[in-house]
A and B are shown apart, each in its own frame.
Chain A
Amino acid sequence: MIVRPWSALLLCAALAAVSALSPAASPWAPVAAQVRQDPAPPTFVDAAEEARFRALVGRLRCVMCQNQSLADSDAMIAHDLRREILRRMREGKSDAQIEAFLVERYSEFVLYQPTVEPRNWLLWFGPGLLLLGGGLVVWRIVRRQRAAAAGTGEDRDASAPATATAPDDKEEW
């Protein structure tokens, strides 16, 4: 297999297209959001509770203002969800249980960090594959140049024919 820069480019394009096709990328919310000052901002019993709450809502995406986290959003639904999350924290629910509660109702969309499952594999492992592909390209180029340098400069060793390139295999760009 000969890996060329264009194949890395194609992989990149495929990833870009996949992310464009996913429904999760739009910042527009055409539905009316009633934005008003939170009449009852959350109050915390101690610093640990506040830290846990802030960490949790920072990991969750607001369903209405989709380019904001639940922590940042001032949409009405974000107020309600924050209040619900705090209520569930005080009921003794774990972070995972609270996240599951939201996913059941508002889908995995609310998670900034998607779950590792087959339909998300490209998302999770795509960048690694891309890096691997790029590394392979660089390795090929370096090896070819080294072979070319060895061919013109020093004496070829016994394994040289294996690395010699065919005339039409030259890098033209």
Chain B
Amino acid sequence: MIRRFWPLLAFAALAVLLYAGVRMNSGRDTSAIASPLIGKPAPAFTLPVLGQPGRVVSRADLLGKPYLLNVWGSWCVNCRDEHPVISALARSGRVRVIGYDYKDEPADAQRWLAQLGDPYEFSLADEEGRVALDWGIYGAPESYLVDARGIVRWKFVGPLDDAIVSGQLEPVLASLEAGK
């Protein structure tokens, strides 16, 4: 008798599985690639600073305090939407905010900052995008949180918003401070 209901049970099980798949993926950006750099040292780099001819910054110069590396470009539309969030974060003094000007004309980049305001302590300029490959950058905006010892702790692909800052970035920052 129970045998008669097997097809129905099988269908129900299938439906539950597929529904679980849909549910677990909703609200999550499935196209964002998890960075293999998390928990590993940030890549070695030496890059010029945007708008400060002659000044270069390397990985070692940024040790000592955690920083948020925010990848942006004047060509990047989403970076415009993200700009107020980055500005608020920089104003709060919660963490050093360093820009990463990705594949950009320096003149365009400086015009962009002049127009919208410059929230960054400074911006690294990677015109060719060669160093970006070592970071695993593949677009803008992207954000990395690097701790005081130079270990990458967190990465977000896409524009940051208040919910992501308070829900993801803040807890990681808090855990870094607690670990000191």
Contact = CB atoms under 8 A, between A and B. Distances in A.
Interface of A: 4, 6, 9-10, 13-14, 16-17, 20-21, 23, 25-34, 63-64, 66, 76-77, 80-81, 84, 103-107, 109, 168, 172-173
B129 A80 contact: yes
B10 A10 contact: yes
20 contacts: A6-B10, A9-B10, A13-B17, A13-B18, A20-B18, A20-B21, A30-B31, A30-B158, A31-B78, A31-B138, A31-B142, A32-B78, A33-B139, A34-B75, A77-B129, A80-B129, A84-B130, A105-B134, A105-B135, A107-B36
A80 B133 CA distance: 8
B96 interface: no
B14 interface: yes
Closest 8 CB pairs of A and B: A20-B21, A31-B139, A26-B30, A17-B17, A6-B10, A13-B14, A105-B136, A63-B138
Contacts, number: 109
Contacts of A34: 73, 75-76, 103
A26 B28 CA distance: 11
B9 to A, nearest CB: 8
A76 B102 CA distance: 11
B24 interface: yes
Contacts of B18: 13, 16-17, 20
A95 to B, nearest CB: 18
Given A80-B132, A105-B134, 16 more contacts: A4-B6, A6-B10, A10-B13, A13-B14, A16-B17, A16-B21, A31-B139, A32-B79, A77-B138, A80-B133, A81-B133, A105-B37, A106-B136, A107-B34, A107-B35, A173-B6
